[in-house]
Amino acid sequence: MTSWPENPYCIPLYLRDILASDMELSNTSYLLLGILAKGPRSGYDLKQFADRSTRFFWAISYGQIYPELRRLTDAGLVEPQAAPVGDRQRTVYQLTPVGEEALRDWVADPEVAPMEIRDEMLLKLFFSDVVSDRERAELLQRMRHRQQEMLTRLRSIEPWAKSQGLATCRYTVLRAGLGLHQWLVDFFSREARELESGAGGAGREGR
């Protein structure tokens, strides 16, 4: 008959490894693990951090955060800790060694993931041959305005990012956002000008 090892830590760690390996993690899972790698946080803290950073390319809601934290806790990837503030009950979550390993494995995974874009205004532009060139130019100008607003917002974050001494990788993502939205502003502006100067409000195109 096989006996259990005398070390009491062997069984819990083994079971935890099984739970973690069997659990299919989503990008939302890794988002939370990544934020928690910077230090323990409550669900509210996680949302605030995401709203200032990752929401520009990967948004997350409270409706996703708390169920995911329960799943990650059950899998042994994060650990809840009571951290009351005065009389108010508060729970913070801390990354476990198993969670750290899962995060590292995900970041190091060489798989090339597709870039997904779901943009209603870009969809409208795709089918804009059903309207006049003037209306299409107006749509392009609205798209330019939208990207300009996003660019302005990201630029307002840049001084804060520098003052916080963000890791190079996170500042790189911010610069990527600045470059992308600047390119889109220029592109939509140029397309609108060319349409306005060339077509002069002509009628609908052929299909």
Output the CA angle 201-204-207, nearest 5 degrees: 145
Residue 142 lies in a domain: yes
Same domain, 17 and 104: yes
Residue 207 lies in a domain: no
Rounded Cα distance, 158 and 93, in Å: 28
**Tokens coding 139:** 């749509």
Residue 3 lies in a domain: no
Rounded Cα distance, 187 and 194, in Å: 11
Same domain, 31 and 87: yes
> What are 135-175's pLDDT values in tens digits?
999 999 999 999 999 999 999 988 877 776 667 888 889 99
Number of neighbouring beta carbons within 10 Å of residue 39: 11
Number of neighbouring beta carbons within 10 Å of residue 145: 13
Query: What's the pTM value of the predicted model, to 2 decimals?
Result: 0.77
Q: Which domain holds residue 159?
A: 120-199
Residue 146 lies in a domain: yes
> What are 78-131's pLDDT values in tens digits?
999 998 888 889 999 999 999 999 999 999 999 999 998 899 999 999 999 999
For residue 199, is pLDDT > 70? no
Coil/strand/helix, residue 4:
coil
Q: What is the CATH number of the domain that holds 33?
A: 1.10.10.10
**Tokens coding 35:** 């934020």
Same domain, 87 and 146: no
